[in-house]
Structure 1
C-alpha cells in the first residue's frame, strides 16, 4: 500500500492485541522494547506511548520529546514535561515517532484510525493529535529507544538527502487542513508558500553543489509545488473514516 496511513490501518486490523505496537521496517528495537512501553498503559487514560529514536546515520538520539504545531512545524527535541503539550486543542501538540509507538486499540477505534490520505509523513503526528483532542493521554518513555537506519525510500536517497519533497508537502498540507475543526486556510496557504520557498532554496543549493542536475532540480521544484497544491486540495475534504475492527483473536497469539 503506497499510503502509510492506510498501511497502518491494515496492520491494526490484522493485529490480535488490545495494544498495537508500531515500528518501521528500517528500525530495530531492543529485546525489552515492549516490556518497557507496557507499564505506561497501567493508566487507563493513556492511549499511546512511545520512546526515543536513535538515528543511525547521525550516530545519536535525534528524536526525543516530539511536538508539532497545527500547521505542521515539528520539533523532535522539545523541553518537557510532556503535559505542556497535551489537552484538547494543544498547539503545539505532543506526538510519538511512528517507528516507536504503541497505541491502545480502543483509542484507535474511537478516532477512526490513521488518516489514509497521508502518504509518507505526518501519520504519527495526526494520530497523536486526534488521540489528544479526544481526551487520551500520551506517554513519552525515554528508556524505550529504537534504532532507526532511515533506509532509502520514495522521498530520500541512500545518503539521506531528500530527492522528492512531494509526499512531505502533500502530507503537511493535509495535516494542517485537518488538524483542527475549523482550519485557517489563509494561514495554511501562507505556511505552504514559505515552505515552498525553503525547499526551492534547498534545491538551488543541491544544484550548486552538483548533487542535482538541472533536470533533477526542475523536477524537484515541480514536485514540491505539486505536493503543496494536491495536499491543500485533498485537505479541504473531510478526514476519511476507517472502521477499526475488534482483534481477530483466532489468528494470532497476543503478546503477554
Structure 2
C-alpha cells in the first residue's frame, strides 16, 4: 500500500479522515471549496500553514509522515511524493530556465547522472518542444507551464503523485491533454495518484475509486462507477445532479 491515512485531523477543519491508496491506484478526492480536500493533501506533503496542526497518522510506504522533521520530509518531496497545484507558477521560479527547473529534482536527489539530458527527455514526454528547455516560465502558456510542473513532479518516478485541481484554469482541449499526460505518466511508473477536484467528469475519466468530502469529513467512498451511478449520500446525489454527468 502506497498511502495509508488513519484518523487524520487538521484543527477543526478536517476530522477523522481515513483512506488508503494502493500501488498504482488512481483515487479521486472530490468536494466543494472548503470541504478539506486541499488541507488533506497539504497534510500528506507536510506543507500545512504554521498555524495549523495535523493529528492522526499518514504513512507513505509504511513510513510515518506526521511528526517527521522538515529535513526528512524534504528528502521525500520531489522524490517519493510529488504534488501538482492548480496554478503552475506557484511551483516555478520565474527567473530560472525551464530545463534547469526540471533537472533540479533529479540533481537534489541524485537519481540520474545526466540531469540536463533527462530534463529534455521529460519535457519531450509531456509534449513540449526541444527549445522549451531554454525558455522562462513567462514565455510559456498556462498549459505549457502545467506540463513543465508535471514533468518536474514525475522526474524521480515518485511512489505518490498528488494533483490538486491541476486543470481547472485550463480550457477544455488543453485540460484533456493534461489529463492524458497524468494518466500515461502515472501508468508508466506505476505511480499512485490522489486526484483532488470538484469536477465529477474529470474523476470519471481519470480515477478508479472516489472519496467524497463534506465539511472536513469523508461522507462516501467506493469505486468511481459505483459512487457516480448509485450515490448513497445526499450530498453526493446533489453533486451528481448539479453536474449533469452521465456515466456509461
Given the two structures, how large is their TM-score scaled by the length of structure 2? Answer: 0.27
Given the two structures, how large is their TM-score scaled by the length of structure 1? Answer: 0.26
